[in-house]
Structure 1
Amino acid sequence: MKNLIFAFSLFCSSFGMAQNGIMPTGVITPPEKVRFTFEKEYPGKVPVWSIEYVGDDNDEIRYEAKFNATSTAKALAVYDNLAVLKAYELQIPLSQLPLKAQKYLKNNYPAQAIREIAVVVDYKSKTTYEVGVEKENKFYDVVFDKNGGFDVIIQKD
Structure 2
Amino acid sequence: MKNVFLAFAFLCSSFIIAQEGTNMKKVITPPEKVKFAFEKEYPGKVPVWSEEYVGDDADEVRFEARYNVTNTTKAVAIYDNLGNMKAYELQITFSQLPPKAQAYLKKNYAPKAIKEIAMVVDDKNKTTYEVGVTKDTKFYDVVFDKDGGFDVSIEKN
Task: Compute the TM-score of the two structures, normalised by the length of structure 1.
Answer: 0.83
Q: Distance in 1 between matches of 2:26 and 2:121?
A: 27
Between the aligned partners of 1:117 and 1:76, the Cα distance in structure 2 is 13
Measure how far apart 1:118 and its partner are.
Answer: 0.5
Does 1:142 find its partner at 2:145?
no
Give ranges in structure 1 of 5+ residues lacking alignment: 1-24
1:110 counterpart residue number: 110
| Matched AA of 1:50 | S
> Equivalents in 1 of 2:137, 2:42: separation in Å?
36
Which portions of structure 1, spanning 4 or more consecutive aligned residues, are displaced by more than 2 angstroms?
none
Letter in 1 for 2:81: N
Q: Cα offset for 1:27?
A: 2.1
Q: How far does residue 72 in structure 1 lie from its aligned partner after superposition?
A: 1.6
Structure 2 residue aligned with 1:58? 58
**d(CA) in 2 for partners of 1:26, 1:117:** 24
Give the match for residue 20 of structure 1: none
Sequence identity percentage: 72
Aligned to 1:126: 126
The secondary structure found in structure 1 opposite 2:88 is strand
Deviations 1:92-142 (A, max 9, x none): 000000010000000000000000000000000000000000112211110
- Please state if 1:99 is matched with 2:99: yes
How far, CA to CA, are the matches of 2:97 and 2:26 in structure 1?
34
TM value normalised by structure 2: 0.83
Cα distance in 1, alignment partners of residues 129 and 36 from structure 2: 28
Q: Which runs of 5+ in 2 are unaligned?
A: 1-24
1:156 aligns with 2:156: yes
Distance in 1, Cα, partners of 2:145 & 2:135 = 22
In structure 1, the partner of 2:42 is 42
Measured in 1, the distance between the counterparts of 2:132 and 2:35 equals 29
